[in-house]
Amino acid sequence: MPVELPILQGGRPESPLPEDPPSPSPDPDAPEVRVQPAPDDPGEAQPHRWYSTNLVGVPADVLASRAFNQHPVPLHIAGTREAHGGLFALLERCDSLKAAQDVFGHYVAIAFGLHPERATAPQDSAEGRRWRSSWRRLLQGWGMDANGPAGAVLKGWVESRFGLVPLFHKARLERFPSPAWVAYLEEKAASRYHGNCIHQQLDLLYEFSQWALPRFGPPHEPGDDGAHLRLWRGSTRCEEQVVAGRLQDRQCTVRLNSLASFTLSRDEAGCFGDWVFELQVPRCKLLVWPGLLPGQVLHGEQEVLALGGDYPVQARFL
């Protein structure tokens, strides 16, 4: 018997849909299997699972791990040195840190319009709003309050370039969405600091820091492997940072925020908490260190700004 096909408006017959094959009958003797959802699902609710790649060629979970912090490899933000080859060619001619600072400052001022006349334009004018965002202004904002708008932009840059999601900004950043996450996202995208290609400015700052470290950076200590810098950090919220071991044993592993402040002075670290952590930070994770930049940019003279992750530490209670 011929099959009649329904006719569409254009006069062409609609092809019949194939029938689904019949479902097999369940085996009454087979054991019942129930699939339980993973406790971490859905993935979008777990911020630490958002990034598997980044711009430095090392997976984010590896970059944050204790293993990487003990055995680091050099890091470079993809395309930055290639896009600004003229800057690094000029830097190679510098025989002192002061000369390198002048070259870097002059180049960045031209590339991003950070000229004095623009920086001093009225803040309520269009010209002032356009050019006021700069790497120096951002670091000074961090020095005043790491959990303020400047801190959010810096943590957003780390998230964008290295894939390290922040753990804390005014409050713990856990499951997404939450009020704490919304507040962080609003601040990191606000135009007060997030403008004038601020991420590209920070890319250049990081690469300049990495270029200058082996030439003019803090001296190596006896027995130093050359890949780490011994730093200290004071803390009052220690219990929630410990991921392995115990504080009472004086040796443990702590999980630090995606971007954190350290110091070269153990005495200065004691001003920021009852517990002082001594740790070896990979030099490839340093963004700002004492002497790198002219003038006062951070709050303390011995302050170091570096990427976070899981660090083995020696803990001391003051």
The domain in which residue 186 lies consists of: 47-317
Q: What total of structural domains would you count in the chain?
A: 1
Query: Do the beta carbons of residue 161 and residue 203 sit within 8 Å?
Result: yes
Instruction: Examine residue 237 and state whether it is found in any structural domain, yes or no.
Output: yes
Residue 22, in any domain of the structure = no
pLDDT tens per residue across span 115-155: 755 545 555 555 555 556 899 999 999 999 999 999 999 99
The reported pLDDT for the residue numbered 124 is 55
Q: Is the pLDDT of residue 32 over 60?
A: no
Q: What is the pLDDT of residues 67-96, one digit of tens each?
A: 999 999 999 999 999 999 999 999 999 999
Q: What is the CA radius of gyration of the chain?
A: 26
Question: For residue 276, is it within any domain?
Answer: yes
Please report whether residue 38 resides in a domain: no
36 occurs within a structural domain: no
Does residue 177 belong to any structural domain of this protein?
yes
Question: Residue 128 falls within a domain, yes or no?
Answer: yes
Q: For 147-190, what is each residue's pLDDT tens digit? A: 999 999 999 999 999 999 999 999 999 888 899 999 999 999 98
Treating both helix axes as pointing N-terminal to C-terminal, what angle do 179-189 and 149-162 enclose, rounded to 10 degrees?
Answer: 90
Is this prediction's pTM over 0.85?
Answer: no
Is residue 21 situated within a structural domain?
no
27 or 282: which leads in pLDDT: 282
